[in-house]
Amino acid sequence: MIHKEGKAVVIPTAVIKRLPKYHRHLGKLLKKGVEKISSREFGEIVGVSAPQLRQDLNHFGNFGQQGYGYNVEKLYNALAKVMGIEKKSNMVLVGVGNLGQALISATDFKRRGFNLCTAFDINPRLVGMTINGIKVRDIANLEQYIKDNDINIGIIAVPEETAQDVADKLVLAGVKGIWNFAPVDLKVSKEVSVENEHLTEGLLRLSFKIKGEI
Amino acid sequence: MIHKEGKAVVIPTAVIKRLPKYHRHLGKLLKKGVEKISSREFGEIVGVSAPQLRQDLNHFGNFGQQGYGYNVEKLYNALAKVMGIEKKSNMVLVGVGNLGQALISATDFKRRGFNLCTAFDINPRLVGMTINGIKVRDIANLEQYIKDNDINIGIIAVPEETAQDVADKLVLAGVKGIWNFAPVDLKVSKEVSVENEHLTEGLLRLSFKIKGEI
DNA sequence: CCTATATTGTTAAAAAAATAACAACAGAGG
DNA sequence: CCTCTGTTGTTATTTTTTTAACAATATAGG
Ligand SMILES: NC(=O)c1ccc[n+]([C@@H]2O[C@H](COP(=O)([O-])OP(=O)(O)OC[C@H]3O[C@@H](n4cnc5c(N)ncnc54)[C@H](O)[C@@H]3O)[C@@H](O)[C@H]2O)c1
Ligand SMILES: NC(=O)c1ccc[n+]([C@@H]2O[C@H](COP(=O)([O-])OP(=O)(O)OC[C@H]3O[C@@H](n4cnc5c(N)ncnc54)[C@H](O)[C@@H]3O)[C@@H](O)[C@H]2O)c1
């Protein structure tokens, strides 16, 4: 729960969805050496109106200064803190198939404090391999590993048929969040957060925009 | 533009975002042999209230029947038509790296009428290879291929630095939609639709839900 | 054929989100 | 030190989205 001036406030989900985008663009500005930016300029960059941007940010604190704007570095760090990035996350991947191997090789996550510790699969031909420095272990060892290594995020990249089963195992072992790539709506206890990447849905939305009509 | 009773109506974006999920669950019900379903039951399955479900569907037509509910197969086909799935899409992939290769191997898309025709890369070691039946061509041939083969969707799976450049090429060649996996907000002419899969943003949202506070 | 039941399509109300307006204030320049 | 400019934080307004309510109607059972 988030608090502001002592009171608990609920952050609108619409706001939460935009934060990562703000953070990403601030990172790019920082790299370019931009020191300060106004809500109008920044809003234009991220594709959001200036008032909305200010309102969004003010849910978490007053990061700007009248007549000046926002200090890019300060805002970048503030948002990182808001999203909890400065507290490192330990992750495990389950399912080392086509997608799982791509995720193992992705560089973006590590830069932002997400640490992929190991991967699990059920296929004996994969178990024991090391891919891009990540060891593949037998799914049977999942629970013990999660408990021993302070893992709080599990990534699901298994076929849809086994996704719920894997999710159950992850929850039982004690992860706090699941990043799910299987085209399934997982049922988990409500203390665990799930973020779905239903890629095919994105493609269908694109199709609708291009060709949809009655 | 969508028309209903002769009048042009704008479909709320919130509705559009939910359609693919409805379609996916209808597919599963159909497979299970379920013949009819009420808005209450179906709403429970997809995680949406019954009135909202009815209102969503009624943007496109009256698919239900009082006292009976919705015929699953009929609704499934109607939604497919609404989203333009029955008109097949030809796609090309640009960027045959870790993620690109995973996408080539994905089976979900084909089943829904999305036909990946070929892939392009700039790396001469990849050009000429065939992966899962998909031939990898030189990026120099992109424009000609798209024009010759009635391609309407381009998938971008190249590094962020070259993504805008690839997008420009795709637009110039005449695609109608871009499915973008690079962590960049592409600038394209407004006749072209873009659907972003900014995976890292999903991970950050998960982090926020788990650890975010002030 | 008539009645009771189930469930829709549609209109109305409430809630959430986005946009607009503006007073407050920091900093620059005279 | 004062005034003008730029830009924030915040409150008010509008728009969009969600939820609720209910009349209309198809089906099933007697
Ligand atoms: N490949 C893509 O680009 C893509 C795109 C969209 C969605 N997806 C989804 O991602 C998931 C994975 O796709 P993929 O193409 O990598 O599939 P895949 O078949 O290549 O890989 C699945 C892996 O999961 C392992 N596995 C299966 N059951 C398991 C279990 N109970 N415990 C541990 N490991 C198990 C398999 O051994 C295999 O290595 C699927 O649900 C798919 O629908 C993939
Ligand atoms: N790997 C993942 O799981 C993952 C996750 C999230 C986001 N992404 C994003 O997806 C994109 C691709 O990631 P990846 O891991 O596959 O990278 P990668 O480096 O493995 O592959 C990129 C491919 O693009 C090709 N390429 C580069 N410039 C090109 C050009 N101008 N024209 C044609 N081809 C070109 C390269 O030769 C290479 O084969 C990146 O933008 C990355 O940020 C990847």
Residues flanking ligand 1, CB < 6 Å: A 94-100, 120-123, 126, 139, 157-160, 162, 165-166, 181-183, 199; B 102-103, 105-106, 108
Closest atom of ligand 1 to CA, residue A98: 16
* Number of CB atoms found within 10 A of residue B7's CB: 7
* Dihedral Cα B168, B170, B171, B172, nearest 10 deg: 80
Q: Say yes or no for a CB contact (<8 Å) between B108 and A211.
A: no
pLDDT of residue B67: 85
Just give the CATH number of A89-201: 3.40.50.720
Bases of chain C below 7 A from a protein C-beta are 5-12, 16-22, 24-27
pLDDT tens for each residue of A76-107? 999 999 999 988 899 999 999 999 999 999 99
CA B182 / ligand 2 centre spacing (Å): 7
Class in CATH terms, B2-82: mainly alpha
The owner of tokens 């379920």 is B34
pLDDT tens for each residue of B63-97? 998 888 999 999 999 999 999 998 889 999 999 99
Burial A3-41 (b: 16+ CB within 10 A, else e): eeeeeeeebeeeebebbbbbbbbbbebeeeeeebbbbee
A30-CA/C1-C1' distance, Å:
79
Q: Which residue is nearest to nucleotide C6 (CA to C1')?
A: B67
- Report which secondary-structure segment, H or E, holds B90: strand B89-94
- What residue segments make up the domains of chain B, in order of their start? 2-82, 89-201
* Number of CB atoms found within 10 A of residue B68's CB: 9
Q: Which ligand has an atom closest to residue B183 CA?
A: 2
CA B65 / ligand 1 centre spacing (Å): 39
Please give the structure tokens belonging to residue A144: 């013990």
Asked if residue A174 has pLDDT above 60, the reply is yes
Q: Say yes or no for a CB contact (<8 Å) between A195 and B183.
A: no
Between CA A186 and CA A183, with CA B13 as vertex, the angle to 5 degrees is: 20
CB-CB contact of B198 with A69 (8 Å): no
pLDDT tens for each residue of A107-143? 999 989 999 999 999 999 999 999 999 999 999 999 9
CB-CB contact of B139 with B122 (8 Å): yes
Which segments of chain B have a pLDDT < 50?
1, 6, 214
Order of strands across the sheet that contains A130-131: A130-131, A134-138, A114-121, A89-94, A153-156, A177-180, A193-196
Asked if residue A73 has pLDDT above 50, the reply is yes
CA–CA separation, B111 vs A57, rounded Å?
42
B14-CA/D11-C1' distance, Å:
27
CA–CA separation, A109 vs A1, rounded Å?
25
Phi, psi of A93 (to 5 degrees): -110, 135
pLDDT of residue B213: 56
Cα–chain center distance at A58? 22
